[in-house]
Amino acid sequence: MQDQKWYRGITRQQWLVLAVASAGWVFDVYEGQIFNITGRQLLADVLHVEPGHSSIKGRLDWLLGVFLAGGAAGGILFGSLADRWGRRPTMVVTILVYSVFSGLTYFADALWQVIVLRFLVATGVGGEWAVAAALVAEVFPQRARAQASGLFHATSVLGTWLATLAGMAVAAQWRYAYLLGVLPALLVLWIRSSVEEPEAWVRAGAQAGAAREFQPGSFRELLFDRRWRMRALLGMSLAAVGLASFWGVTVAGQGLAESALQRDGISGPQALEQAKFAYGFVETAGGGLGLLAFGPLCVRLGRRRAFFLFQLAALAIVPITCFVPQTYRQLLCLLPVYGFLTLGMHAGFAVYFPELFPTHLRGTGTGFCFNGGRILASSMLLFSGWLKSQEGLDLRIAIALLGLVFVPGLVIVWFLPETKDQPLPE
C-alpha cells in the first residue's frame, strides 16, 4: 500500500534544496513587500511632500507596475539562463542582483533613482522564483512534488512578515529597511557549498549535447512548437490574473484597513501604522494558510479544479470584505479570509507551471508563465493607480471593481491541461 504521508523518505539533499529555495523566495517577497509597506514615506521624501499628499497614491501603483515589469524581464531572462547554465549558478546571480540593488536604494534621493533601482531589484526577484520553482519540482519525487512546491511558495508569508516588522521598526526611516535587503547575499555561500544540480537537468544537458536536436532555454521552441506554445500563453494569462489581483486587490487590504480606521475617527501616522499591522500580520496570516492549503488541494482535486474553486471564492469575498464590515474590528475579522482566498492560489503557480514543460525548457517556460504574467499585470497596476486616485470614488468601490479580474481566470483554467498524477515531461 502506498504511503500517504508525502514527506516520508525525503532525503537530506531534497530538504536542503527546499530550504535554500524557500529562503531565497522569502527575501524575494521581502523586496516586493517592503515598498508596499514603506512606499508612502519613501515617496514623501524623494518628492519632498507630506505622506498624505495626493501625488503619492497614483505613483505607488505606478511604481508597483515598474516592479512587475522588472520582475518579468528578469524572470524570462534568468529562467532561460537556468536551462542553459544550470539551476545553481543562475540562482546565485539572481540573489546577488536583488540584494545589491536593494542596498543601493538606501542612497536614493530622487524619483528616477527609485524607479531604476526598483526595476533592477525586480529582475533578480523574478529570476530567483523561476529558478527555485523549477529546482524544487525536479528534485522532489512525483508523490511529494505538489506539497513541496506549495510549501516553497507558502514561505512567502515569512517575507511579508519580515517586511512588516522592518517597516514598523524603522517607521519613517525607510532607508534602513532597504539596507536590510543586502542580507540575502549571504545565501550565496550556502547555495554554492550545498546545492547540487538536479539529475534531470544534467541528463537533459547531456542529451542535448549528444543529439543536438534541441537547445536548452530556447524561446523559439517554447513559442513556436505547438506542444508548448499554448501551455506557455495560457499559463502566462493565468499568472496575469493572479498577479494583477494580488497587487490590485490583495495588498489593498492595507488601504481598506486605513479607510476603516479613518471612519472610526483615527487618522494620520497612527492609522497608517495600524493598517500596516492589519495587512502585514492579520490578512497575511490568512493568506499563509491559503498557500499551505493549496498544494494538498491540488493533490486531492487536481490543479485546474483547485484554481477554479479558489478564484470563484475570491470573486465572492472581495465585495463582501469591501462593503459588509462597518468598523475596523469587523474588518479585522474578515481580512484573514480575504487573504486566504485571494492569495492562496499563488502556491499553485509553483506547483503547476514546472509540470507543463520538459526539462530543457522548464526554467524558460516557468519563468515565461509567471513573469510574462507580470507584464500583463503591470498594465492592471497602472489602471488600478488611476482608478484609486479618482476624486470622489470610494476606495471600496474601486477594489470591488478590480476584483472582477478573477472572472477571466475562471475561464482560462479550463483550457489548460490537467497534470495531476503525471510525471514531469522529459
What single string gives the DSSP state of each residue in 247-288? IIIITTHHHHHHHHHHHTT--HHHHHHHHHHIIIIIIHHHHH
* CB burial readout 107-116, b (16+ within 10 A) else e: ebeeeeebbb
> Of the given ranges (181-190, 344-353, 384-393), which has the lowest mean pLDDT?
384-393
Residue found under cell 496570516: 285
Average pLDDT for 271-291:
90
| Better-scored residue on pLDDT, 50 or 104 | 104
**pLDDT score recorded for residue 328:** 93
**pLDDT score recorded for residue 196:** 84
Domain boundaries, the chain: 13-191+216-415
Residue found under cell 544540480: 197
For 234-244, what is each residue's pLDDT tens digit?
999 999 999 99
- Nearest Cα neighbor of 151 from 21, 244, 4, 306 is 21
Q: Which residues contact 218 (CB under 8 A, 6 or more apart)?
A: 360, 361, 364
Task: Say yes or no to pLDDT of 223 above 70.
Answer: yes
- Nearest Cα neighbor of 28 from 74, 65, 60, 62 is 74
**pLDDT score recorded for residue 3:** 53
**pLDDT score recorded for residue 286:** 96
C-beta of residue 20 within 8 angstroms of C-beta of residue 191: yes
Average pLDDT for 167-184:
87
**pLDDT score recorded for residue 207:** 65
Residue found under cell 502506498: 2
Task: Say yes or no to pLDDT of 103 above 80.
Answer: yes
Task: Say yes or no to pLDDT of 26 above 90.
Answer: yes
pLDDT band at 133 (very low <50, low <70, confident <90, very high): very high
Mean pLDDT of the chain: 89
**pLDDT score recorded for residue 213:** 57
Pull the grid cell for residue 81: 539562463
215 vs 307: CA distance, rounded Å = 32
pLDDT band at 247 (very low <50, low <70, confident <90, very high): confident
Evaluated on CA atoms 343, 356, 364, 7, the torsion sign reads positive
User: What's the distance, CA 21 to chain centroid?
Assistant: 14
**pLDDT score recorded for residue 184:** 87
| Better-scored residue on pLDDT, 22 or 206 | 22
Which CATH superfamily includes the segment(s) 13-191+216-415?
MFS general substrate transporter like domains (1.20.1250.20)
> Of the given ranges (50-59, 126-135, 144-153), which has the lowest mean pLDDT?
50-59
Task: For residue 99, give Cα distances in angstroms to 105, 326, 416.
Answer: 10, 42, 35
Question: DSSP label at 232?
Answer: H
HSE on the CB side for 395, CA within 13 Å? 18
C-beta of residue 271 within 8 angstroms of C-beta of residue 322: no
Q: Which residues contact 391 (CB under 8 A, 6 or more apart)?
A: none
Task: Say yes or no to pLDDT of 112 above 90.
Answer: yes
Task: Say yes or no to pLDDT of 12 above 70.
Answer: yes
**pLDDT score recorded for residue 229:** 95
pLDDT band at 296 (very low <50, low <70, confident <90, very high): very high
Cα angle 193-195-198, degrees, rounded to a multiple of 5: 150
133 vs 362: CA distance, rounded Å = 9
> Of the given ranges (44-48, 354-358, 410-414), which has the lowest mean pLDDT?
44-48
Whole-structure pTM value: 0.85
Task: Say yes or no to pLDDT of 210 above 70.
Answer: no
Run of H or E residues at 136: helix 111-139
419 vs 307: CA distance, rounded Å = 13
Evaluated on CA atoms 217, 218, 224, 226, the torsion sign reads negative
Task: Say yes or no to pLDDT of 1 above 50.
Answer: no
> Of the given ranges (93-97, 204-208, 357-361, 383-387), which has the lowest mean pLDDT?
204-208
Task: Say yes or no to pLDDT of 331 above 50.
Answer: yes
Question: DSSP label at 246?
Answer: I
DSSP 361-398: GHHHHHHHHHHHHHHHHHHHHHHHHHHHTSTT--HHHH
Average pLDDT for 77-90:
91
